[in-house]
């Protein structure tokens, strides 16, 4: 079989260990108001293309020497990496059997029972926590956070190294209630995870214009280095480990 892909990006160093290929899978169940990859929200559109599973595997195998040399591997991202679960499973099963190091970036909105065998084959899992307040989560992303919070807890229990990522966006979640609520959630559930802040950026705006979509709100802002330092110290005061893969 196969599935819809946005692109395969070789020589990435930001989304896991070593030199990696990022497999940008198309489709996403969320509609984040700040999305940097709006072309990945639907599976089939003029900026995505169908690839057979074997075609993707062939491309990835060609990079194997770089992964081996650098301790890198393959990271599944999106859009939402889990939005085409059967395609993802087929890729992951094959790469795992061939000894590739695997990572995934997910928004957390998935069927845990269906995804669990795939998640267990990962060496590193990145999962987003965009807002701790269910109603604000719904307002900014189109869905509430009930399933995502449940999946953070269940996935952390798999024993696979995991990083919870907070996209830090002024005007969305860079206030004490949102940040400290998220820190308390991670602490109070005794989750053995790292925490990473992903500061907001506007690199995706050209794609909005290309797709004829309205730009993200001007009210969304980029946190300063001082604000991020302050949130890092506050998170550490909750007993959390703050990391950066950027």
Q: Is 41 in the site for ligand SF4 (CB under 6 A)?
A: yes
Q: Is 79 in the site for ligand SF4 (CB under 6 A)?
A: yes
Q: Is 169 in the site for ligand SF4 (CB under 6 A)?
A: no
| DSSP 3-state of 37 | coil
Instruction: Round to whole Å and give the CA distance between 119 and 223.
Output: 32
How big, in percent rounded to 5, are the helix, strand and coil portions of the chain?
35, 20, 40
Is the Cβ of residue 31 or residue 233 nearer to ligand SF4 in the bound state? 31
Q: Is 216 in the site for ligand SF4 (CB under 6 A)?
A: no
Stretch that binds ligand SF4, among 5-13, 72-80, 119-127, 207-215 (CB under 6 A): 72-80
Instruction: Round to whole Å and give the CA distance between 235 and 47.
Output: 38
Stretch that binds ligand SF4, among 44-52, 78-86, 178-186, 238-246 (CB under 6 A): 78-86
* Binds ligand SF4 (CB under 6 A): choice among 32, 124, 148, 168: 32
Query: Which residues, at least 6 apart from 211, have a Cβ–Cβ distance to it below 8 Å?
Result: 38, 39, 45, 47
- Tell me, by CB under 6 A, how many residues bind ligand SF4: 12
Q: Is 88 in the site for ligand SF4 (CB under 6 A)?
A: no
| DSSP 3-state of 160 | coil
């Amino acid at each position: 079989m196969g599935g819809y892909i946005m692109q395969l990006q070789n020589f990435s160093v930001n989304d896991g260990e070593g030199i990696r290929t990022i497999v940008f899978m198309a489709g996403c169940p969320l509609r984040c108001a700040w999305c940097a990859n709006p072309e990945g929200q639907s599976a089939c559109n003029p900026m995505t293309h169908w690839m057979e599973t074997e075609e993707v595997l062939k491309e990835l195998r060609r990079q194997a020497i770089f992964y081996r040399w650098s301790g890198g591997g393959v990271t599944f991202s999106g859009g939402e990496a889990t939005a085409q679960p059967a395609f993802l499973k087929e890729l992951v099963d094959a790469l795992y059997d061939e000894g590739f190091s695997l990572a995934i970036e997910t928004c957390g909105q998935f069927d845990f029972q269906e995804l669990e065998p795939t998640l267990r084959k990962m060496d590193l899992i990145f999962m987003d926590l965009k807002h701790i307040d269910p109603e604000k989560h719904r307002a900014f992303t189109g869905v509430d956070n009930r399933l995502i919070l449940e999946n953070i807890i269940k996935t952390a229990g798999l024993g696979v190294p995991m990083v919870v990522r907070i996209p830090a966006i002024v005007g969305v979640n860079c206030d004490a209630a949102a940040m400290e609520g998220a820190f308390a959630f991670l602490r109070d559930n005794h989750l053995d995870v790292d925490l990473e802040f992903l500061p907001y950026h506007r690199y995706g705006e050209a794609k909005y214009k290309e797709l004829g979509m309205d730009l993200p709100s001007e009210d969304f802002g980029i946190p300063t280095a001082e604000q991020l330092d302050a949130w890092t110290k506050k998170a550490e005061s909750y007993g959390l480990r703050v990391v950066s893969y950027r």
